[in-house]
């Protein structure tokens, strides 16, 4: 009887063999769910929430976030996989598949009486060797646009259909290249993803500027301005209550009138400063002038600005203020004391677009913008969500490639190369730990196997062809998913991120090791005592 039963008779316990079986079945269950999603030919999953909302996706990260996983071991694996996505932006499905397969391979040896500790030692040795091989197969390249297009295309094709992926590829790469500034880390938050439920998904495009999800608040303001100066400010142009609770006592109505006028003048002075600046910079030209304010602008101020042909937008989002100054140039001002022409940004075209009841303001044709917008269009909500998830992964893939300065071949080529090296290496490993190395090598092959299976080919036959081709040519050979034949992944332009593969090897080994070394599962928390 388990020792814990003596202290808590209601505790639930699973001992050695049973606990391992529970853990391995959980890992394999999760693996079976995500197995069919891998690769460009993977299938979709439809998630229906309690409220009846539908989400159609093949993104492993979205699935693991949205699914309600109750099994403790499965939720542990899911958390590791989603953490992988948070760090590198990709590799969730591969992560779950390899963890499941490592446990499955280990189970074969454990059922023959081998101790889990010996296998885990083999895993550690294999991981070290696998990382060495990964260093050898990585290809250092100057990250030109062509390479980045290949990296983005490889990532996006696994998320959306081919025509859409190819169209998004250019938009995603150009976005990252636009926001990249020498000497600064790449900040993907400077790529605004704006969605419009309109037309088809093939109309999604990149805008070298910004799209705001609101319009001007005055009917007389122009809807389209070319060659415009842009003033970005965070100044209140409306009557505000005093910060301290104070009372004013008047003797006569005239005194009250005086106070109201004084309060109004305070705001009118600020508005006048904007109007003066406009005439100063646009005096001898027909350039436009746009004010984008983070705080409010009251109707009287809007009216005054409209009379002087100034377009004003109020209550812009705070995150857009930073993006605006990067996109148009200029400085976001917090007071109108020292307003000069140097504070102004510039845009070639500012126009308002109305879609149903929603208004959008487009700020386009900026010179050398360091913040851009991806305008996602689609006929319905789940298409928009699917494209947004895909774009997020594509942006991360391009960013990783630029930061790593190197890429690794995709299409299962890296896994086949590592597995072959490990099979040779296991003869050098002393004792029974070499069985762990063998199990690790077999487990990595799950990636090329599933890629072939999801494309409708015989997985054993395809894998044997690829391994034979790799042994003969010594090139990094992957699977051509259109024909099922071996191909050199690099020549076909299929590249994966180095940091994603490295992270997968690290996290899979750690989690598989921890799960294998569990020999007792106890549910003996406080809640079971209370019953």
Active site residues: 59, 92-93, 393
Beta strands in 15-158 (DSSP E): 45-48, 54-57, 139-140
φ, ψ for residue 246 (rounded to 5)?
A: -130, 155
Exposed e or buried b per residue across 87-124, where buried means at least 16 C-beta atoms within 10 angstroms of its C-beta: ebbbbbbbbbbbbbbbbbbbbebbeeebebebbbbbbb
Distance CA 136, CA 516 (A): 30
In 3-state terms, what secondary structure has residue 316? coil
Exposed e or buried b per residue across 359-388, where buried means at least 16 C-beta atoms within 10 angstroms of its C-beta: bbbbbbbbeebbbbbbbbbbeeebbbbbbe
Please, how many CA atoms are within 13 Å of residue 234, restricted to the half-sphere of its CB?
12
Distance CA 479, CA 477 (A): 7
What's the longest Cα–Cα distance across the chain? 102
Which residues are within 8 A (CB) of 394 and not within 5 positions of it... i.e. 6 or more apart?
152, 155, 156, 159, 168, 169, 172
Output helix, strand, coil percentages for the chain, rounded to the nearest 5: 50, 15, 30
Tokens read off for 308: 């002087």
Which residues are within 8 A (CB) of 192 and not within 5 positions of it... i.e. 6 or more apart?
210, 211, 320, 323, 371, 372, 373, 374
Tokens read off for 148: 């980045």
Distance CA 75, CA 504 (A): 17
Which residues are within 8 A (CB) of 274 and not within 5 positions of it... i.e. 6 or more apart?
231, 291, 305, 310, 336, 339
Distance CA 181, CA 193 (A): 20
Which residues are within 8 A (CB) of 275 and not within 5 positions of it... i.e. 6 or more apart?
304, 305, 308, 310
Nearest to 439 by CA among 498, 507, 517, 509: 509
Burial of residue 305 (number of CB atoms within 10 Å: 0-12, 13-18, 19+): buried
How many other CB atoms sit within 10 Å of the CB of residue 352? 19
């Amino acid at each position: 009887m388990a020792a814990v039963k003596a202290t808590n008779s209601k505790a639930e316990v699973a001992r050695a063999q049973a606990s391992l079986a529970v853990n391995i079945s959980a890992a394999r269950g999760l693996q079976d769910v995500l197995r069919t999603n891998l690769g460009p030919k993977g299938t979709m999953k439809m998630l229906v929430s309690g409220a009846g909302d539908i989400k159609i996706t093949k993104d492993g990260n979205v699935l693991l976030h949205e699914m309600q996983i109750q099994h403790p071991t499965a939720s542990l694996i899911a958390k590791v996989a989603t953490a992988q996505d948070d760090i590198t932006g990709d590799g969730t499905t591969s992560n779950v598949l390899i963890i499941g397969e490592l446990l499955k391979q280990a189970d074969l040896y454990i059922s023959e009486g081998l101790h889990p500790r010996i296998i885990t030692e083999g895993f550690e040795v294999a991981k070290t060797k696998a990382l060495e091989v990964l260093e050898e197969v990585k290809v250092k390249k100057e990250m030109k646009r062509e390479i980045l297009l290949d990296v983005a295309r490889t990532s996006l094709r696994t998320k959306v259909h081919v025509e859409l992926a190819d169209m998004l590829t250019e938009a995603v790469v150009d976005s990252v290249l636009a926001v990249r500034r020498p000497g600064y880390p790449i900040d993907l938050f400077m790529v605004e993803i704006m969605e419009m439920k309109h037309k088809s998904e093939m109309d999604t495009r990149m805008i070298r500027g910004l799209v705001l999800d609101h319009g001007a608040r005055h009917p007389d303001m122009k809807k389209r301005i070319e060659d415009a100066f842009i003033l970005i400010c965070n100044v209140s142009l409306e009557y505000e209550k005093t910060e301290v609770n104070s009372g004013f006592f008047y003797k006569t109505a005239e005194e009250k009138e005086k106070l109201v006028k004084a309060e109004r003048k305070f705001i009118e002075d600020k508005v006048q400063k904007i109007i003066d600046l406009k005439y100063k910079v646009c005096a001898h030209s027909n350039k436009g002038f746009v004010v984008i304010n983070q705080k409010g602008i009251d109707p009287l101020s809007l009216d005054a600005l409209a009379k002087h042909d100034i377009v004003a937008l109020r209550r812009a989002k705070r995150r857009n203020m930073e993006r605006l100054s990067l996109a148009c140039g200029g400085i976001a001002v917090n007071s109108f004391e020292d307003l000069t022409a140097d504070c102004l940004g510039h845009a070639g075209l500012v126009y308002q677009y109305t879609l149903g009841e929603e208004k959008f303001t487009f700020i386009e044709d900026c010179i050398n913008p360091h913040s851009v917008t991806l305008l996602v269009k689609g006929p319905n909500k789940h298409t928009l969500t699917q494209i947004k998830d895909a774009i997020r992964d594509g942006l991360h893939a391009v960013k990783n490639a630029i930061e790593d300065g190197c890429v690794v071949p995709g299409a299962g080529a890296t896994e086949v190369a590592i597995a072959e090296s490990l099979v040779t290496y296991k003869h050098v490993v002393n004792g029974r730990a070499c069985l762990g190395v063998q199990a690790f090598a077999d487990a990595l092959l799950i990636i090329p196997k599933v890629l072939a299976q999801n494309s409708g080919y015989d997985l054993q036959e395809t894998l044997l062809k690829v391994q034979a081709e790799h042994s003969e040519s010594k090139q990094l050979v992957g699977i051509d998913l259109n024909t099922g034949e071996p191909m050199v992944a690099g020549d076909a332009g299929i590249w994966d991120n180095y940091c994603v593969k490295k992270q997968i090897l690290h996290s899979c080994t750690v989690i598989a090791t921890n799960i294998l070394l569990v020999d007792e599962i106890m549910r003996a928390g406080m809640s079971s005592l209370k019953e």
